[in-house]
Each structure stands twice: as structure tokens, then as C-alpha cells.
A and B are shown apart, each in its own frame.
Chain A
Amino acid sequence: MGKSTPSALQSEKQKRNIRDVELSRPRKFFTSRDFGIVLLLSVVAFAVRVQRLMNPSKVVFEELRYVNYAVDYASNKFVMDVYPPLGKLLLSFGLTFMNSNPDLTKVSHPGQEFPSFETARSLRLIIAAFGSLLIPLMYGNVYLSSNSKMAAFMASVFAIFDNGLITMSRYVMIEIPTLFFMGLTSFFWMYYENQQKYPFALKWHISLLYTGISLGLTISTKLSGLFTLFWILVLALFHLWNLIGDLTVPITRIIRYGFNYTFYLIGVPMVVYLGIFAVHSKLAYKSNIYDSFLTPEYKYSLEGNDFGEEYADVAYGSLVTIRNAIPEHGYLHSNELVYPEGTKQQIISLVDHPNQNTLWIIEHENAADNDRKKIELLKDGSIVRLRHIMTGRALHSHDHRPLVSNHDWQLEVSGYGGFGFEGDGNDLFRIQILDRPSRHASSNGTVEAFNTYFRLIHVFTNCELMTSHRRLPDWGQDHREVTCCRNCIERSTTWVIESNFHDAMPSDARKTNYRKPSFFEKFIEANKLMWLKDRKMGDGHEFESHALTWPFLLGPLRFMSDQNLQVYFMGNPVVWYSVVSLIVFFALVMLFFAARWNMGYNDCGPKFYHHSYNIGKFALAWFIHWAPYILETDRVFLYHYLPALYFGIMALGVGWAFVGNVIFEHRPAFSFVTAAFITLMFGVYYLYSPFTFMTPLTQSSCQSLELKGSWNFRCNSYMESLSQYNSGIVNPIFYEEAAPHPFVYNGPAENSHSDVPLKENLAVYYPAWDAQVEMGYKIAAEEKAAMEAKEAASAEAASMSSDETSRSEPSD
């Protein structure tokens, strides 16, 4: 295809598809002179980014997370995060590569002095290197799309001296590596667009393959890489759309294009993404603090987990712990506390770790059937009474609304009865085995520890035992609430038995444990977790800002303030405002010409289409990397705008080439205007650099830099004159808090830790239990005798309704 194909249909094609984008622009790239320029620019960029690199040598903002991740990977510990692993893997590789004997101490809070200067410096150097590599990519992207060296040079210089890009390139966060892969993707795609003269040639395939690989790397670093994927797919579809309209291109060839695009732009990134996960799970195989949100199966596959083997079969009389199917919800628990209002019966809740208060014994419906020497297996439909072994109360539900989840479809769950008092029919639950998540070893419908997932259905009210997503207040020690729910089909009504002990079980009885999941199951679970957590990260952060304010640079983000010096994340106003003006102007021009076109004027030649395609594709990238954040209100920060800005600078470069081409027509004046523009930009960069490099500034010059009220630099924390900086007066340190880690549970600590190691000593509880039960019956019998004696004495004083007494709460 392409313009140069000599064909009789050529003129027809031109007539039909005047809007077809001229994709074939064979161009020689990277002559030695270009190479020199690019090298020079990169060196300058690197020099700019590493000056005063270890100032401050303290943990800044989210460095807290990434430094710890790198350290975890280096010591092969499991890491879970809302971002895919590549960025952290790179940091970790860099750490071990650049230090022969790295210091693997973790950091605990922002503002803390780094435990090892060298380790921190090597991590920051990696980021700075990535930050400098953005510059050649910028040059290549703009040059390939505009064929103007001047524009490419200008855009690169803008990228070098943007304070925002510099700031992010100095600290250990993964924004810049992501941005590097985005730029790489874009570069290969632009290179691919230049290969249209010889479609399906080797170079064509290779450039497309590289696009796919770098797309995969982008997505494996941060999920916002999906925006880049979307952008590239839009461009590819646009190309296909034009091909479909071009009648000179045979259908088979279009299908071939479509096939290649699918393979390279969707298939290859997926393989890369999977591959990165494989590396991740090969490297991080040791159990770590982040696993509280994992399913126990996943946890079990990590080295150093604390699951032991248990008897497979569950029978009446078994001593069990019961876990909710939602991993972070924990174990069914009770202790002596009672609900403060309403029924005032004993609280049932969930705790995160098993202890002796999470032990339950499975009893028959009728107490007479209980025989601990016999083994009768639990089946689907078995009716059970679950008795709490430490307090003797049975799991109970009744027609009262719970105190916390006070809804009409939920019922309170409590502990009822006691040693010597069996309880009533409201203690009975029916076991319903769920086929779906259950993995039976045998298919005879019995309950098996670890592998059988079941519901507990209250027999009288037909409601299902569930955990709400809420926590009990202080009176419930902040544990998770347990209620009984009518018609709930959520996962929170599903339970599984974890510890399982029966003293009549023969010692050679079948034992079992969780099944180790395959790589794909782990992959799917980790991705699900990432998505769900990413969507609801909960607590907001004080300095998050709304995406609509970003292009206009309304509020800089303060990273740190230390010893009368400050670090702000803020862009170079000239760069940021030029980008947004260009985009708004471009959109208006497009709208104007569309209206003109509809009015019947056709005054846009191929040259116009050519340029507007090239500006438009970067403007589109700007939009795609920015607009989704508008809908997001949680935990979005100013620096999330950087990818959009980076593409915006490319659009600016191409737009500048258009100005040079159309308005100045390559006259020398163009060079002067460009130089003036760059000088202005550089001057502004220099003015704002104290906020970037944490260098001294006086209060008065700080105030003069505050062009907008909303910028709000805390000028008071600077000294009044520069000479004071030598006198050693320091203000206390301020730092920005990093957001709470999404995968570390930081709720209240357990307050009922057992001294007895639970797993080894389950048998201990049986004799104690028997003694207590016996004692309970004895006391109950005595009380009953006393009662009867009393009743006989009072001789039918009143006609008590026996119903009422038996239904009321037993006194103990």
C-alpha cells in the first residue's frame, strides 16, 4: 500500500480518502549528528537530575514503600502491592547489582534518616537514570512525528528542565520507570508508523514487536499502562479504519494487518505481563507481612507459613476452628464479653488469628446423642450445635436486630446457654456444602477440613451466618461483626474448617492441608486483589488533589521540609501552561474546522491533515492519560499528571514544528523565537529550582515566587536572609505522611493471645472441657433441686408460664 505504490487506482484512492493519514514517511533517523545531540542532551539531563541527589538523605513521602519493597525482594520475601511487580523488581535488581553487600534494613517512617547512605543513593541513581532516558525518547518521538530537529530539540529541553519531571526523577518511586516504558512504547510505535513503505518486512515486524514488548513492560510496572495500551489500540484501529476505506487494499491484507495488530499489541503484552509475574513469584517465595489479604491457599504456598496438617474428616465431637471464606475476615470467635444493649447475650465476632477462643466443638442436636468415642462424619444437611469451648455457650441466633448492622434483613448472633445448660432450638444450624469452591478429595458429601466450603443456615429462621463488613465498636474490642442474614448470597456467608481434632480419631487417619495453587490461580488471585484494592483504597490523603486542577498547576505538593529548606513537587509553569494552552487551542481549531466543513468549506489540505494527525495523536495520549483520573477521587496526586504532561510536551513539540513549517516557513526568525521560548522556560526553571533541589531561599524571594494564592509555599519556614543558613538555626522537621499501606492490616492488635501454642495442644482442651461440663451439670442439678424445693415450698403461688422461663436467659 502507501502513496508510492504505482497503481492505476492511485488517483481514485486519493479522491475517496483525502483524510487518509499519510503514514509512510521514510526517514533516516539517528545520523551521527543526531546521536551527538541526543547524547549531549542525556548527559545534561542526568547532571541536572543527580545534583544534590542525597539532599535530603532522609526518607521522602512514598519512598517508604518502595525502598522496603526493594529490600523485601532482595531478601526473597513475598510482596503484595496495588501495582504490578516490574518497577519494584527493577529497583531490587539495581540494589543488588550496584551494591556488593547491600544493607537490607527496612525504613519505618518518612523523615527518617536512611539506614544506609549507599543503598539509598543507588536506588535514587537508578531512578535518575530512568529520568534521563526520558530525554532521548522525547527527541525520537517528536522527530519521528514532525521531521523537525528544532522541534525535537525544543521538546527535549523542555523535558529536561521541567521541575516536576526532575523532582520525580530524584526519589525512589515508580512513576518515572513507568513513564520511561510509556515513552519507549510511543517511540517504537512512531518508528513503526515510519515503516509503512515496506509492510510486513522484517523491520516492520520488529518495530511492532518492540511496541508490544514495551507495552507489556509498561503494564507490568503500573496499571495506568493500560491507558497507553488503549491509546496505541486507538491509533491502530484508526489505521485499520483508513485501510478499510482504501479500496486499493485487498481485504486479505487488511485481515493480515488486523491479525498482526492483535498478536503484537494484545498477545505480546499479555505474555510479557505473565512473564513478569512468573519472575515475581519465583523470586518472592517467603512469607511476609503483606499476606493478610491472601487466600490461605496462596499463603500456604509461601515458605514459612504456619499451617500444619490436620485430620481430613470432620465428625460430631470434633474440636475445630472455623474461618470465613473471605481471607482477611478471620476466625469465628467468642469470649466472655456481652452485647451492651438489647439481648445482652455473649458477643460472637471474628478475629484475625486463631487462639483458644476460636475453638468450637461440634455437637448433636440432642445432647443424648453426643458420644465422643464414636466417629460420625458431618454431611451436607447435618444439623449441628456449635459450642464455644472456653465459655460453654452455643452459637445462637434469634429474631433480634444486630446492634451494629441494624437492618431488617439481619439477625443478631450471640452465644447462649452454658456449661450444664444445653440451650434451645435456636442454637441449631444446618450445614449446606457448596459445590463451587469446595475441593473434595472424596465425593461422598462429607465435610472435610480445609477443602469443604459450606454455609451455616439457622434452622428456625432460615438465615445464613455471615460476617458484615463492619467492625464492632469498643465494647466488642473492634472485632468483625457476625450476623445472620436472610437471603444473602455473598461470599461472606461461606465458611471453612481449619484446625480439626478428634480424640477418637485413629492416629493413622487421613490428614490433609490446603492445596497449593498453580501459577495461574496465584496470578489471577493477585490480580483480583490488585484491582479491588486499587478501586477502594479507603482513607484519603491530605494532599490529594482533583484531576481537573492538574493542568493548571493549582496546588504544588509538598514532599518535605527540613532545616528551613523544602521540597515541593511542582512543574515548571512555562512548560505546564504551554502544554495546556496548546491542547485547548488545538481542540478549538479542530472544532472550528469541523463546523466549517459541515458548512461546506473544504479548506484543509493534506498538509493540514498530516500535521493535525501528528499533533492529535499526542493530544489524544495526553487526554487518555489524564481524563480517567477525573472520575477517580480517592488518592490521586498531582504527580499522576506526569504521563499526560510528558505526552503533552510531545504534542507541544510537534505543534511547534507546525508553527515553524506553516507560519515561519523555516525562516531564521523561527530559530530566534524558539531560542527565546527556551530561555524563558530555563529562567523560570532556575527561579523555582530551590523547591526542587532543596536549596536555600529567602522568605521574600519565596513570597515573590508565589504567583497564585493556592500555591501556598510555606515561606515562613525559610530564613530571612541567605547568610543565616550558615548560623545553624533549625526548625523542626516536617514531612508528608505516606499513605497507609493497602496490604498491611493495621487494625487493633489481638488482646487475647494464648500462651498455649494452639496447633500442638488441641488435645489439652478436651479434658478441661469434660471437667467443666461435668461441673456444670452438677451445679445445674443442684440449682434445679434447690429450685424444686423452693417451688414446692411456695406451693403453686402463681401459675408461671413454663414457656417463658425456659425461653429466658439462663443465669450464670
Chain B
Amino acid sequence: MKPTVTDKSGKKNQKSSKQKGSASRPSSPSPSPSSPSPSSSPTPKKAAESSSIPHVVSSSGSGPGSFFNKKLQFWKLHIPNEVVFDEVHFGKFASYYLQGKYFFDLHPPFAKLALAFVAWCAGYDGHYLFDNIGDRYKDHGVPYVSIRSWPALLSSFVPPLVFLIMKESGYELPACLVSACLVLFDNAHVTEGRLILLDATLIFSMVAAVYCYVRFFKLRHSPFSRAWWSWLFLTGICLSCTISTKYVGTFTFLSIGLSVCLELWYLWDIKTGLPIKQFASHFLARFFCLIVFPFALYLFWFFLHFKFLPTSGPGDSFMSLQFQETLDENPITANATGLNYYDIVTIKHMGTNSFLHSHPDKYPIPYDDGRISSGGQQVTGYPFEDDNNYWMVLPHNHYADPKYKPNMPVRNTDYIKLHHVGTNTDLMTHDVASPYHPTNEEFTTTSVDESAGAKHDFTVFQIMINDETAPDRKVFTKSMSFKLIHKLTNVAMWSDPKPLPDWGFKQQEINGAKNIQTGAILWMFDDIIGLPEERVNKEKRVPKKLSFFKKYLELQLVMFRQNNLLTESHPYSSTPLDWFTLHHGIAFWAKNEENKQIYLLGNPIGWWLIGGIVITTTVVASAEILLHQRGIVTLLPSVRNHFYRSIMFFYATYMFHYLPFFLMGRQLFLHHYLPAQVAGAMLCGAFIQLACMKSFHLPVSPGAKQPNDVDSHGYAKSLRRNGYIIQVLTSLGLISVLSYCFVFFAPMTYGNASLSVPEWLRRKWLDSWIFQYQK
């Protein structure tokens, strides 16, 4: 929302500065003689923080926060010494990286690679797979404290960064402290940040991206300077890390992206006076640094991902056969055999793992609903080994020239016939509706005589290897999937898992689908029956190569597809509305005998405060917009400007990280709210300053023109008397309540203390928080 209503005041300022004939790029101190230069002596109550040009940040401000946070994050890191909640997954992935075994996960690889790297540095070899929640690390010799220290380290940088963002955005010390403490004393952040999970990396990179972007935005009056380029570039890196950790990073992209778009729209404005050429370079700089470069970096992690996972592992089954063939020790390459004509094979459907099957029983001529079948022999899918799964591959002209030619390989795009060995018939299809799908063609078989004569055309199929167009490529078993296209009617052999009625022995329906592009029509030659010894391949096969981009695209598609399948209900999943009110948490780990547990729960006071302030901001902003349309001035132009550029930016960041979850169909958990919570914390600090002081210290960005409506100390003229004192008192009160509440809920954050039942009950503020304890 930053430059939303790139309000008239801003434009006017620019205009007036031009009219006054001062430099159009106002890098010099403000020309107005009445206002003091920014470096003039500050009033004592502002203390050291707001002393000088805002982008020089005193290190004293971030010092204590940082120290406390490290203390909070690292405190009792070795407890619990057991596997906690999703450590099951992410610890396991680290082990797979160290073993080099291919695995599949929904999240991009960056944070997992980092965890694996840390584990490797700690001397861990990845022998243990983090099987169950509650397993003892000591029994398995895992350096879990070292691994946990990495997320804890990243996580402890978050509150200082929040502090710096607020500082850089021009807020007073109390506001910065409130924002930082809302994150610092937040039980959910601490819980998530000290275990082997991805959220610490995610939130750190998100906050870092916002920080870099704020620094970059402040330099808009000296574009293309070295600092400008660096911060822009750093924003890109942080954004890339965010999205390479989890896909919710997209929301960070959107929040910053919207702001960038509005900024560009502002630059395009006639009153800005940029020549088209310069506008183009502005555009290209952002395009390259915020889109092209981050994407390249994102791909780089995938490159490393494939590099470090060369061996076949538990993730094989998610990938295509082609992909699996690129892995070391994969069972497919080892068993693949070239297919010759007159081989007897079994043919397996890729989606349902059923074999192409036929038996002497016929389709019933009228179906139950009165439609008519051909009454031919049934062709079905059957998932178990059976003699009726045997088919002989014949050349299409076999009956015209019935001579057995040995060792003639089947090649891609060949026309073939499939001969059912058990019933001595040939596979065919024709324009008769299949049992369940009136739009699809029925598959049946026909006698050898007819296949040689009248029905010849109906029995000819073409083999099309998936993703392979070269016609001379030999067909192998196991390692290739193919489509079987009917030559005459151009349908593909397809199967549907819905079982046929009793007349079909509950086997699967097989029919001809008109759509020959979907994935459900892929089949695979599984085994050659009675394969002669000399054709069995003995030498060790070398894994095949596949270009990186093909691998990446495939993995990306599988990730999206799997993500959409995650719809099953989970007892700890929650809805976005629950997060807003902290309706319930997640039981991470529990030790019933000792009445210890880790329960993911935010600092209730902090979360409810953020919720309240989000609602209030919505009301205030809508009211302001309505009144402004009516021509009623409620905020001074400079304050209004700051409100829409900074406070509404935090607001938009919050909304971008929160609202999209309402549209998602998959399972959601409380920790999905954490990025929004950080944005909410910043909004809180900013809003409290607006409410208490009704003013900001302006201008924030170096080089910006001094607004007309600020007083001699650089504050907007609407400054409330004693506003600063009110703010200090409010903030102190808030911080003490927050820290008390944090300590109160700390036992379930660290899982270190055994509390008695009444003590647990005292912490159960809402009935929906389910703690585990034994009476």
C-alpha cells in the first residue's frame, strides 16, 4: 500500500521544489530556511535514537533485544531430547540429504539443504530417520542440539530485524520496542524457532526481505547509487530465500511487489517528470533484481537438491520413469530389457497398477440401464498376477506374412497387434460405448480369423513412448511408459479404477478415451514371460542423464499436484479464523508421566492485541478514505502520507500473508499465521505511535523535501502534547504484560517444567486449548 494514494501533497512538494528552482533531485538538505536541517540538535526526550539522519541506526537500540532473544531462543535447547512433532519430517530429510537418497517433499529445498549442511558440519552422517515423535535422540546419536541451534540462530535475528525495520521507517524508540517485543516474547515464535523446522528460515528471510526493501525504498531520492543497487539486490536475495523455503514466500513477493508496482506507477506520473528512457531503466532494474535474479537463485537450490540426491530412495515413486532412471541403483534400469516381437508380456497401467487382462466371459448385451454392448469378450484391468494377463506382441502385418522373425525389436511409433494368449484372440476396440463411459469406446477381443480378415483395422494399435518422438527408439520393459493409440478411431487405451459390476468380477474397466493427452493413459510393459537367459542383461547399467530443466519442471509439477492433494483432515489443523483469535494450538510433544509438554501457542495477549489493532486500522483507514472523499481533513498531509506509505504497507503485508489462506483447500496449521503475525507486530508498533502521538518525525527518507507541516523539531504539527510520554508509558505497560505472559506460558514453550494439574488448568484460558496432563 505504500505509495497508494500518492497523494497530492507529495506531488505538490515535488512541484513546489521545482518551482523554487532547487535541484530536482533533492539530495541536498531541505531548501526551506524555516525548518532545521535533520542533523540539528534533537530535544532531550527523543534521546539517542532519533538523533540523526534516520538511516544511521544506533547499535545500542538493537543490542538488548538481540541479547535477550538469543537467550530466549537458545535457552534449554537440549530439551526435550526427543523427536518433536514435524522434526519427524525435516530431520528425516536432513538424513536423506546426508545419505544421498532421493526423497520427495512439498517444500522447495533451500531451508532443508541448510539444515542438512549444519548437521553435516556437526559431524552427523544421517543414519537415523527420525521415525517417531518421542524417540530419544541419545539412543540414536544425533547431534540434535547443534542442528537446532541453526534455526534458533536465525530465529533470534528476527526481533532485532523487526526493531531495525521500525527504526528505519521512522518510528520512535517505544514503537520499535513494542514491535520487537511482540515477536521477541511470542511463545509460538520461540517454539517454532528452536526446533528442526523450516519456519525459522522462512520468517527470518521474510523479515530480512522487508528490511532490505525499506532500506531500498528510502533511497528513492538517489536512484542508481551504489547503496540503492545493493539494497535492491539484497531484497531480491532475501525474497528468493523466502520462496525457496516455503511457497508461502509468494505472499512476501506479492506484498513487496504491490508496493513496487505502485512506486512505478508513481514514477510514470507526469508530475515526476521522468523521461521514458529513465523510467525504462527503473523498470528493468527492478525486473532483473526482483524477478529474474531471485528465480535463478531459486533454481540453483534445486540444482543442488538434485546434485546431493544422486541415489534412488523413498521419493522415487512420485516421479516419472524417465526421472527414476537418472538415479543411482534404481531398480528400473537394472531390470529393463529390450522388447522383441513375439515376446509374451504383461502390460501394467501406470496410474492404478493393474494388468491388462482378458477372460472368456462376455460383456452383457443389454446393460442394467438398457444400453447395448457389443457382447464381445471382456477386457479388464486386474491388479494381481494371472495367466490371463499374458499378451503376445505381434507386428501389425503378422497375418499377411505369418513368419516368425527372431530378435526383431519393437520400436517407438510401431503399429502392433496384441494377441491374448489365454483365449487365442486379438485385442480390438470399436465405436461402441464402454460399460460406464458412454463417450468412450469399448475394448474387446476378436478371433484370429477375423483379425486377419474383416476386423484387421480394428486390431491395429500404435505404441507411442511418452515424451519421445524419435521413431527408431527401441522399446524397453519397466523403464518406459507408453500410450497405446488405436489407429482407426484415434482413441487411447485408458482405465478407470471404478470396479465393474458382478458380471465383470469387480475388475477394472478398460476403454478407449478420446483425450489422448492426459496422464491416465500411460501403460508400461512389465515383464517378459519366459525370457531367454541370454537376453537377461547382466552388466551394471549406468544411470541415464536428464537435463536439469526437465527434472526441475517435473518435480515442480509433482509438488503442486501433491500439495493440492493434502486435503485430508488432521486433528491439529485449524482454519485461518482460529488463528486470529488463537482459538487452538498444536500439541507438539508430551511426556505424560512427568506432566511435561510442548504446545504451540502464541502469546495470547500479543495475538489478541494484533487482532484488535488490525481491525482498528481497517476501520480507521476506511473512515479516513471516506472523509477524504468528502473533503474533510482528519490527518495532516504529511501524517496521511506516512500513514499510507508505511502503516498501510505493514497492513498490506499482514493481509497478503493472511487472507490467501482462506482460499486454500489444503490442511492449515497455526504456524502458517506466523509471517502474518510478524507483519501485525510491526503494524501494532506503528499504530500505537499514531494513536499516542498523532505525529511522526519527518521526513524519513534522506533527500526527501522537508514537508511544510512539520514543526521546528521535525515533528508533524499535529503532535499531541505529552504524546511521547503517553507512548512510553503505554509501551512499557504493554511490554511488561507481554513478558509476564510469555514467562507464564513458558513451560509449554520449552517443555522443561513439570507442572501440576491446577497449574495447567490455570493456563487453560480457552476451553479449546487441549493440554495433556495426567491427574
Distance between Cα atoms of A797 and B60 in the complex (Å): 80
Asked if A109 is at the interface (CB within 8 A of a chain B CB), the reply is yes
Asked if B228 is at the interface (CB within 8 A of a chain A CB), the reply is no
The interface residues of chain A lying within 8 Å CB-to-CB of B133 are 408
In the complex the two chains form, is A111's CB within 8 Å of B371's CB?
yes
Q: Which of B439-488 contact A (CB under 8 A)?
A: 439
In the complex the two chains form, is B571's CB within 8 Å of A732's CB?
no
Output the residue of B370, B571, B584, B768 with the most chain A CB within 10 A. B571
In the complex the two chains form, is A732's CB within 8 Å of B371's CB?
yes
In the complex the two chains form, is A244's CB within 8 Å of B569's CB?
no
Distance between Cα atoms of A542 and B439 in the complex (Å): 9
In the complex the two chains form, is A487's CB within 8 Å of B433's CB?
no
The interface residues of chain B lying within 8 Å CB-to-CB of A488 are 571
In the complex the two chains form, is B132's CB within 8 Å of A408's CB?
yes
Distance between Cα atoms of A580 and B185 in the complex (Å): 54
In the complex the two chains form, is B438's CB within 8 Å of A736's CB?
yes
The interface residues of chain B lying within 8 Å CB-to-CB of A732 are 371-372, 432-433
Instruction: Report the minimal beta-carbon distance from B277 to chain A, rounded to whole angstroms.
Output: 15
In the complex the two chains form, is A599's CB within 8 Å of B270's CB?
yes
Asked if B385 is at the interface (CB within 8 A of a chain A CB), the reply is no
When the two chains form the complex, which single residue of A111, A244, A251, A712 contacts B514, counting CB atoms closer than 8 Å? A712
Residue of A nearest to B269 (CB): A598
Asked if B271 is at the interface (CB within 8 A of a chain A CB), the reply is yes
The interface residues of chain A lying within 8 Å CB-to-CB of B270 are 598-601
Asked if B369 is at the interface (CB within 8 A of a chain A CB), the reply is yes
Q: Which of B118-136 contact A (CB under 8 A)?
A: 132-133
A-B interface contact total, Cβ < 8 Å? 72
Distance between Cα atoms of A86 and B132 in the complex (Å): 55
In the complex the two chains form, is A595's CB within 8 Å of B770's CB?
no
In the complex the two chains form, is A734's CB within 8 Å of B571's CB?
no
The interface residues of chain B lying within 8 Å CB-to-CB of A717 are 431
Q: Can you list, as one digit per residue, whether each of A589-612 has a CB less than 8 Å from chain B (1) or not (0)?
A: 000000100111100000000000
Output the residue of B270, B432, B437, B514 with the most chain A CB within 10 A. B270
In the complex the two chains form, is B772's CB within 8 Å of A487's CB?
yes
In the complex the two chains form, is B772's CB within 8 Å of A600's CB?
no
**Given the contacts A595-B268, A712-B514, A542 and B431 also touching, CB distance less than 8 Å:** no
When the two chains form the complex, which single residue of B438, B626, B768, B774 contacts A734, counting CB atoms closer than 8 Å? B438
The interface residues of chain A lying within 8 Å CB-to-CB of B569 are 469, 490
Asked if B21 is at the interface (CB within 8 A of a chain A CB), the reply is no
When the two chains form the complex, which single residue of B369, B631, B770 contacts A487, counting CB atoms closer than 8 Å? B770
In the complex the two chains form, is B268's CB within 8 Å of A734's CB?
no
Instruction: Report the minimal beta-carbon distance from A326 to chain B, rounded to whole angstroms.
Output: 12
Residue of A nearest to B132 (CB): A408
The interface residues of chain A lying within 8 Å CB-to-CB of B568 are 469
Asked if A485 is at the interface (CB within 8 A of a chain B CB), the reply is yes
The interface residues of chain B lying within 8 Å CB-to-CB of A408 are 132-133
The interface residues of chain B lying within 8 Å CB-to-CB of A712 are 514
Q: Can you list, as one digit per residue, whether each of A242-260 has a CB less than 8 Å from chain B (1) or not (0)?
A: 0011010001000000000
Asked if B265 is at the interface (CB within 8 A of a chain A CB), the reply is yes
* Main secondary structure on A side of the interface with B: loop
Output the residue of B268, B433, B630 with the most chain A CB within 10 A. B630
In the complex the two chains form, is A599's CB within 8 Å of B433's CB?
no
Distance between Cα atoms of A241 and B627 in the complex (Å): 11
The interface residues of chain A lying within 8 Å CB-to-CB of B615 are none
In the complex the two chains form, is A598's CB within 8 Å of B265's CB?
yes
In the complex the two chains form, is B268's CB within 8 Å of A598's CB?
yes
In the complex the two chains form, is A245's CB within 8 Å of B629's CB?
yes
Distance between Cα atoms of A247 and B630 in the complex (Å): 7
Distance between Cα atoms of A485 and B133 in the complex (Å): 16
Asked if B549 is at the interface (CB within 8 A of a chain A CB), the reply is no
Asked if B587 is at the interface (CB within 8 A of a chain A CB), the reply is yes
When the two chains form the complex, which single residue of B268, B438, B630, B768 contacts A244, counting CB atoms closer than 8 Å? B630
The interface residues of chain A lying within 8 Å CB-to-CB of B514 are 712
Distance between Cα atoms of A601 and B372 in the complex (Å): 70
Instruction: Report the minimal beta-carbon distance from B598 to chain A, rounded to whole angstroms.
Output: 13
Asked if A576 is at the interface (CB within 8 A of a chain B CB), the reply is no
When the two chains form the complex, which single residue of A244, A558, A599, A601 contacts B626, counting CB atoms closer than 8 Å? A244
Asked if A441 is at the interface (CB within 8 A of a chain B CB), the reply is no
The interface residues of chain B lying within 8 Å CB-to-CB of A663 are none
The interface residues of chain B lying within 8 Å CB-to-CB of A462 are 772, 774
Distance between Cα atoms of A558 and B438 in the complex (Å): 11
Distance between Cα atoms of A488 and B571 in the complex (Å): 5
In the complex the two chains form, is A489's CB within 8 Å of B630's CB?
no
Asked if A112 is at the interface (CB within 8 A of a chain B CB), the reply is yes
Q: Can you list, as one digit per residue, whether each of A429-461 has a CB less than 8 Å from chain B (1) or not (0)?
A: 000000000000000000000000000000000
The interface residues of chain A lying within 8 Å CB-to-CB of B372 are 732
Asked if A733 is at the interface (CB within 8 A of a chain B CB), the reply is yes
The interface residues of chain A lying within 8 Å CB-to-CB of B283 are none
Instruction: Report the minimal beta-carbon distance from A470 to chain B, rounded to whole angstroms.
Output: 9
In the complex the two chains form, is B768's CB within 8 Å of A489's CB?
yes
Q: Which of A465-515 contact B (CB under 8 A)?
A: 469, 485-490
Distance between Cα atoms of A680 and B631 in the complex (Å): 52
The interface residues of chain A lying within 8 Å CB-to-CB of B265 are 598
Distance between Cα atoms of A543 and B432 in the complex (Å): 19
In the complex the two chains form, is A409's CB within 8 Å of B571's CB?
yes
The interface residues of chain B lying within 8 Å CB-to-CB of A99 are none
Distance between Cα atoms of A44 and B268 in the complex (Å): 53
When the two chains form the complex, which single residue of B269, B271, B663 contacts A631, counting CB atoms closer than 8 Å? B663
**Given the contacts A112-B370, A558-B439, A489 and B584 also touching, CB distance less than 8 Å:** yes
Distance between Cα atoms of A542 and B498 in the complex (Å): 14
The interface residues of chain A lying within 8 Å CB-to-CB of B572 are 409, 487
**Given the contacts A733-B371, A734-B438, A736-B438, A716 and B768 also touching, CB distance less than 8 Å:** no
In the complex the two chains form, is B630's CB within 8 Å of A245's CB?
yes
Instruction: Report the minimal beta-carbon distance from B596 to chain A, rounded to whole angstroms.
Output: 16
Asked if A737 is at the interface (CB within 8 A of a chain B CB), the reply is yes
Q: Which of B240-283 contact A (CB under 8 A)?
A: 265, 268-271
The interface residues of chain A lying within 8 Å CB-to-CB of B663 are 631
Output the residue of B514, B629, B768 with the most chain A CB within 10 A. B629
Q: Can you list, as one digit per residue, whether each of B745-772 has a CB less than 8 Å from chain A (1) or not (0)?
A: 0000000000000000000000010101
Residue of A nearest to B368 (CB): A109
Asked if A735 is at the interface (CB within 8 A of a chain B CB), the reply is yes
Distance between Cα atoms of A542 and B630 in the complex (Å): 54
In the complex the two chains form, is B770's CB within 8 Å of A716's CB?
no
Residue of B nearest to A470 (CB): B568
In the complex the two chains form, is B438's CB within 8 Å of A735's CB?
yes
Instruction: Report the minimal beta-carbon distance from B715 to chain A, rounded to whole angstroms.
Output: 31
Q: Which of A727-752 contact B (CB under 8 A)?
A: 732-737
Q: Can you list, as one digit per residue, whether each of B131-145 has a CB less than 8 Å from chain A (1) or not (0)?
A: 011000000000000
Instruction: Report the minimal beta-carbon distance from B483 to chain A, rounded to whole angstroms.
Output: 18
In the complex the two chains form, is A734's CB within 8 Å of B772's CB?
no
Residue of B nearest to A492 (CB): B569
The interface residues of chain A lying within 8 Å CB-to-CB of B132 are 408
Instruction: Report the minimal beta-carbon distance from A376 to chain B, rounded to whole angstroms.
Output: 24
Distance between Cα atoms of A591 and B177 in the complex (Å): 44
In the complex the two chains form, is A487's CB within 8 Å of B371's CB?
no
In the complex the two chains form, is A599's CB within 8 Å of B269's CB?
yes
Instruction: Report the minimal beta-carbon distance from B39 to chain A, rounded to whole angstroms.
Output: 36
Distance between Cα atoms of A193 and B132 in the complex (Å): 67
Residue of B nearest to A249 (CB): B630
In the complex the two chains form, is B437's CB within 8 Å of A542's CB?
yes
Distance between Cα atoms of A601 and B431 in the complex (Å): 64
Instruction: Report the minimal beta-carbon distance from B766 to chain A, rounded to whole angstroms.
Output: 11
The 18 listed contacts between A and B (C-beta, < 8 Å) are A111-B371, A112-B370, A247-B631, A408-B132, A408-B133, A409-B571, A469-B569, A486-B772, A489-B768, A489-B770, A558-B439, A598-B265, A598-B268, A599-B269, A712-B514, A732-B371, A732-B432, A735-B438
Q: Which residues of A contact B (CB under 8 A)?
A: 109, 111-112, 241, 244-245, 247, 251, 408-409, 462, 469, 485-490, 542-543, 558, 595, 598-601, 631, 712, 716-717, 732-737
Question: Top 7 nearest A-B pairs by Cβ distance?
Answer: A600-B270, A488-B571, A734-B438, A487-B770, A244-B629, A599-B270, A245-B629
Q: Which residues of B contact A (CB under 8 A)?
A: 132-133, 265, 268-271, 369-372, 431-433, 437-439, 514, 568-569, 571-572, 584, 587, 626, 629-631, 663, 768, 770, 772, 774
